Amino acid sequence: MSAPGKLAPVSPETRPKVLIVDDQPSNLVALEMILAELDVDVVQARSGLEALSAVLWHDFAVILLDVMLPELGGVEVATLMRGNTRTSHIPIIFVTAKDRDDAIMFQGYEAGAVDYLFKPINPMVLKSKLNVFLELDRRRRVLEQRGLELGRAKDRAEAANQAKSRFLATMSHELRTPLNAIIGFSEVLQAEVEGQAAEDVRAIYGAGKHLLSLIDRILNVSKYESGRGEVTIEDCDVLELICDVARMVGPLLRRNHNTLEIERPEEQVCMESDPAKIRQCLFNLLGNAAKFSHGSVVRVQTGYEQVEGEQWVMIRVKDEGIGMTPEQVELGFEPFTQGDDSLARKYGGTGLGLTITKAFCQLMGGEVSVESTLGEGSTFTMLLPRRSREIGPSPGDEAGAAARPALAPPWERRSTGGSAAASRPTAAGEGPSRQLDILLVEDNTMNQVLMERCLRRLGHRVTVAENGKAALEIWARQDFDVILMDIEMPEMNGFETTREIRNREAALGAHTPIAAVTAHTFAEDRRQCMEVGMDDFLTKPIRQTELQKLLTRIRRPRKRWANDSPSGSRSHGN
């Protein structure tokens, strides 16, 4: 027998229990004989205290409770049961030998009774009323069982989701680590070789970037399918975002001899949303338009639209390309589909661009739709909530709109050509204005060589630590302008190392800028880096231009340590 307060689960197949409470043994015998014809288990109680004890051990479908009981009457018992969350659901039928008295009946209903039976009891009436409550109890137990099953299914789904998240984080790290070396070394070599070798290196670099793009798309789809997407709200000028993306897709458009026309709105189109996700959506839609069109015009429109009395932002991309059949339109936003296999063979790609676009639009509270005719082209329309606050001149402010500088069509700018010099990284000396002492904490030998080479080309002094424990020992002896910290390392990871540095600095009144340089790419990774005290975050594979921007952004004037010794070393507490 289980202890009170720990009832065993009751399944729909378990025989329901009925509690009968009466201080007269003959009445209990009579009630039990009537109930013998029903498929129930009967429990007897001869007082109010016995009844309260019984409900601690059993889950009853219904209680037949005598009103007149010694010491603790039926109304008091019912009141106590109603005040307990574990017994408040049990229907109580009062049994009394008194004549019908409206005052007494009202008092019983107030205490929580659902019905009354008057002695002598009519067996047919008793069984009829009990059957109603027994059926209700059966349905309650079915619902509880389904709730338990749903709870277990939810737990399994959450566990699977967590496993998927861990897998995605691991795959992101494991795939990006070797890509960091492939892309990084090929970028460095572009500035050091010429002729056919330079062309070969550029081909390696391009293939690495393409592979990185495919990995990012697959990971993005998996991340948003598991509900792990996040939105960073910022003020956005939609036209600026369109022109930014136009610069990126210019080569794709020119490859198929397409031109891009942006219809400039009469009013400035502003919104509060996630600019990075809007750029990605635009890049996907314009990239598709460029890929599936040839020798035609791709048009982009933007403006405000009223939806159920609220102002939303519309962004439309229209092409004159191959178009789609109704069946292909229906499948267009499904992952890994391109309408049919022939499109995948002819045009390439993963078929994830539209899937990511739809996921991002929905994450931002909007939607994307498509209209298409086979052989005539397609029109994709994103509709996103504007939110509340405006930026700059309000819509309709013609003076403000006129004062905004006209953005030159970036897709019409002349190409810099295909020489090696055009694609070389920024030369050393063009980064931060002074030479920096940098502590590089990285356990991967190939990445150590690559990062050290890039940093020295930018004119900085570099000290390498192969893990967090070694980094602490070096940092204790030498002052650094910046620490570049990997996250996943043996012995002591980047989070633990940063936390320890910040703890020691708190007592010394100093702060060394620390930037995470990691193959972990999810938002929670960035958030965790900030929580342990890092100042910035850079994702592998590392581009030299991005590394240079990071150092310019993060570097700060050196602070003197309170206990600097003449030799420049400093002591730390344990």
Ranked by mean pLDDT, which of 7-21, 92-106, 328-342, 438-452 comes out on top? Answer: 438-452
pLDDT band at 567 (very low <50, low <70, confident <90, very high): very low
Mean pLDDT of 149-174: 76
Sign of the Cα pseudo-torsion (434, 439, 441, 446, in order)? positive
pLDDT for the residue 493: 92
* Of the listed ranges 13-22, 184-193, 258-267, 406-415, the one predicted with least confidence: 406-415
Percentage above 90 pLDDT, the chain: 25
Cα 87 from Cα 78, distance rounded (Å): 10
Query: What type of residue sits at position 489?
Result: M
Cα 272 from Cα 241, distance rounded (Å): 13
59 pLDDT above the threshold of 50: yes
pLDDT for the residue 541: 78
CB 231 within 8 A of CB 277: yes
109 pLDDT above the threshold of 50: yes
CB 532 within 8 A of CB 498: yes
Which two structure tokens, joined as six digits, stand for 163? 């496993």
Residues 6+ apart with CB under 8 A from 18: 35, 38, 40, 41, 42, 43, 60, 61, 62, 63, 64, 130
Q: What is the DSSP string of 266-281?
A: SS--EEEE-HHHHHHH
Q: What is the DSSP string of 311-366?
A: EEEEEEEE--SS---HHHHHHTTSTT--SSHHHHHHH---S-HHHHHHHHHHHTT-
pLDDT for the residue 165: 65
* Of the listed ranges 8-12, 99-103, 383-387, the one predicted with least confidence: 8-12
Say how far residue 226 (Cα) sits from the centre of its chain.
7
pLDDT for the residue 12: 55
Tell me the pLDDT tens digit for each residue of 486-524. 988 888 999 999 999 999 999 888 899 999 988 776 777
Tell me the pLDDT tens digit for each residue of 234-256. 888 999 889 888 887 888 888 88
Which two structure tokens, joined as six digits, stand for 413? 């700018």
Residue of 136, 186, 140 lying closest to 450 (CA atoms): 186
Kindly tell me the burial class for residue 29, based on how many C-beta atoms sit within 10 Å of its own C-beta (0-12, 13-18, 19 or more): exposed
Kindly tell me the burial class for residue 1, based on how many C-beta atoms sit within 10 Å of its own C-beta (0-12, 13-18, 19 or more): exposed
For the full predicted model, state whether its pTM sits above 0.75. Answer: no
Q: Pairing mode, if any, of strands 60-66 and 17-21?
A: parallel
